[in-house]
Structure 1
């Protein structure tokens, strides 16, 4: 099988995209879709073995990818990694800032180190990758950047460090869209809601029942798929989005739109789209 993208074959033929956090979850899925559409994908992640594994998958499917270990929180490492990617592939057309991470905790349980670690991962890292992509390549050629944030509108109880960082990333997206527009660079964000992705398996066991109940809080009564996020990212990177910049697209089945006060009957006609032939259901959603 191959990736069943909703976008036209060859859309990104000959183009080069960085995907951070490309070793798992939404990043892995997006890298596969970009490669299936003809792009050369530079997978960036902290663990070499994880990006190597996705690189092997993409090559087995007939695509082109490179794998780069990098801590996006470290400025010199980011500079060197972006430089190496450009040298390896001969250019750069866009970036998907997907890398991120957080841990569940009320605000009173987060110490300074924990707060700063999450902010550096979810905000500073995306800024550093974007800045280096812009200064080293995109400022000369134009291109597109898509930042992955989260549904943090109305607060993010239990993950306040991540909510603050993601809100900052939305503002960074808006600022960069204005400052970098004269160079032909578009900057947008997507905010996934509750997506059935491997990241769900990273939370502690006591959150298992809560995770399984999330679909009931979504108006269309299901979680999203990685493919449903990836297709939006790929659209924003595409020429079809040439007049879209500085925006944030929520991919959450309307979960952020007043469902707490509006009665939600049983949903229908809501079949998910899943074009990713290598998608794996998170264990937390498949275990008994």
Structure 2
């Protein structure tokens, strides 16, 4: 365990799926700083190992395991690795996802299938395995959707459909697993300086500028700001929040 016995997540074991970069990586740091023992999971073994070495070198209790969130056996292994290392699973942050640009009629079929496999099926697989591990002890799960999961706009249709589906999964899970003492909530980040947004900025800087200008705070968020919101939802401070869609968007959807 971390020596931080006073943080929001002190004494908890937390799994972060999609932890190698961006929101996932910064959230893992936030969780560790808040006292959690953290298992990192993602596809990129090298990036995971580098982040694990960095956080461990700073004195945090962190480990990692690599795999594909759209493969059931890999997701089961993420959870089993957490149980093997920490003895339990108290919280999980399901953040793995891929993006897409283009009108709905322009999306290639294989790209649509991959988007749904990672964003939707991956979230479902994570929920299934994490609930199995939490069992009667209860816990807290936070999924990552997007402001694109609560509204529509042109050019992101398949991505937004997947993010709407994540909100649907979360709300259903809140009903299914609430009686077990497992809370399931979902974040809806707005424009955030993740690798996805930076890539989009390179491809279409005007579109990104318009999106940021639509934020009342007139700025994009940071991955750590999303991580702080996730840490609060995972913590006992949010003990009566279940099935909530929490925008982390600077007022974009207000």
**TM-score of the aligned structures, taking structure 1 as reference length:** 0.82
One of 137, 155, 163 as aligned partner of 1:141:
137
Residue of structure 1 in register with 2:164 after alignment: 167
One of 199, 202, 205 as aligned partner of 1:202:
199
Shift of 1:204: 7.3
1:85 aligns with 2:82: yes
Residue of structure 2 in register with 1:185 after alignment: 182
Residue of structure 1 in register with 2:71 after alignment: 74
Q: Paired residues, what number?
A: 250
Contact 2:191/2:197 (CA < 8 Å) preserved in 1? Answer: no
CA displacement, residues 225-273 of structure 1 (integer Å, 9 cap, x when unaligned): 222211111110111111000010011111123xxxxxxxxxxxxxxxx
Contact 1:150/1:166 (CA < 8 Å) preserved in 2? Answer: yes
Where do 1:30-179 residues align within 5 Å? Answer: 30-135=27-132, 137-152=133-148, 153-179=150-176
Shift of 1:213: 3.9
Residue of structure 2 in register with 1:285 after alignment: none
Q: Secondary structure of the residue that 2:250 maps to in structure 1?
A: coil
**TM-score of the aligned structures, taking structure 2 as reference length:** 0.93
When the two chains are superposed, the root-mean-square deviation of aligned CA atoms in Å is 1.7
Contact 2:201/2:208 (CA < 8 Å) preserved in 1? Answer: no
One of 247, 252, 263 as aligned partner of 2:249:
252
Q: Distance in 1 between matches of 2:103 and 2:51?
A: 34
Q: Secondary structure of the residue that 2:38 maps to in structure 1?
A: strand
Q: Kindly tell me: are residues 247 and 113 of structure 1, through their superposed partners in 2, closer, same or farther at Cα, counting changes over 3 Å?
A: same
Q: Structure 1 regions of 5+ residues with no counterpart?
A: 1-7, 258-288
Q: Structure 2 regions of 5+ residues with no counterpart?
A: none
Q: Secondary structure of the residue that 1:145 maps to in structure 2?
A: strand
